[in-house]
Chains A and B, each alone.
Chain A
Amino acid sequence: QKEVEQDPGPLSVPEGAIVSLNCTYSNSAFQYFMWYRQYSRKGPELLMYTYSSGNKEDGRFTAQVDKSSKYISLFIRDSQPSDSATYLCVVNDSTLTFGKGTMLLVS
């Protein structure tokens, strides 16, 4: 079992939709959780950084961590075409462990 699992998509939504991206992880010892966004031919860009369980909001983005179920979510409100990218779910032990990423297409 991979340490971080994500549905690769692509996920296609109309502009203005609410997007829900999810992933699961296997090691209950993980404490730090992140979402990175990656545009084509670019490096990953940090979107959200959370410690332990709970919610964190930043503008149109909300990250949610449920450590009891080992489930991580990212919600994007009022999605825009510029949100079209691959979203990487990441856990932090001593180094970062990435999921495969979910490709989002907003049109």
Chain B
Amino acid sequence: DTGVSQDPRHKITKRGQNVTFRCDPISEHNRLYWYRQTLGQGPEFLTYFQNEAQLEKSRLLSDRFSAERPKGSFSTLEIQRTEQGDSAMYLCASSLVKDQPQHFGDGTRLSIL
């Protein structure tokens, strides 16, 4: 069990650029979640996958955001045409099944110039 791994740890980009983050969950964890955390706030749910199926999306996930989990293993989160308000920590978590504890990675910190 190597834990949830996220890459990159920090991404700095100019407004209007596209960015993609990767998450590798704990092996054999069927569920994978994405959250966003801004300074002084708790993480907020964005979306989650059961294997390769994306089952729920938050209203926070605008149409500039897209997430995939091909083959039910790693996941990517892409943000197109980044805006200042996208600056945040993007956290990935995984769990074995529904209602089991979620284990988090250390996040990708996105800074928009």
Contacts and interface: CB of A to CB of B under 8 A. Distances in A.
Nearest to B92: A43
A34 B35 CA distance: 16
A34 B100 CA distance: 11
- How extensive is the interface on chain A, given as a class? 20 to 34
B62 to A, nearest CB: 18
B91 A43 contact: yes
A68 B44 CA distance: 26
Given A43-B106, A98-B44, A34 B101 contact: yes
Given A34-B101, A49-B101, A95-B33, A43 B4 contact: yes
Interface string A24-56: 000000001010100001111110010000000
Nearest to A101: B42
Interface residues of B, number: 23
A8 to B, nearest CB: 7
Nearest to B98: A94
B28 interface: no
15 contacts: A8-B40, A32-B99, A41-B109, A42-B106, A42-B107, A43-B4, A43-B107, A46-B103, A94-B98, A96-B43, A96-B93, A97-B45, A99-B42, A100-B42, A101-B42
Interface of A: 4, 8, 32, 34, 36, 41-46, 49, 88, 90, 92, 94-101
Given A92-B99, A94-B98, 18 more contacts: A32-B99, A41-B106, A42-B107, A43-B4, A43-B93, A43-B105, A44-B43, A44-B91, A46-B102, A88-B42, A94-B56, A95-B48, A96-B93, A98-B42, A98-B43, A100-B42, A101-B41, A101-B42
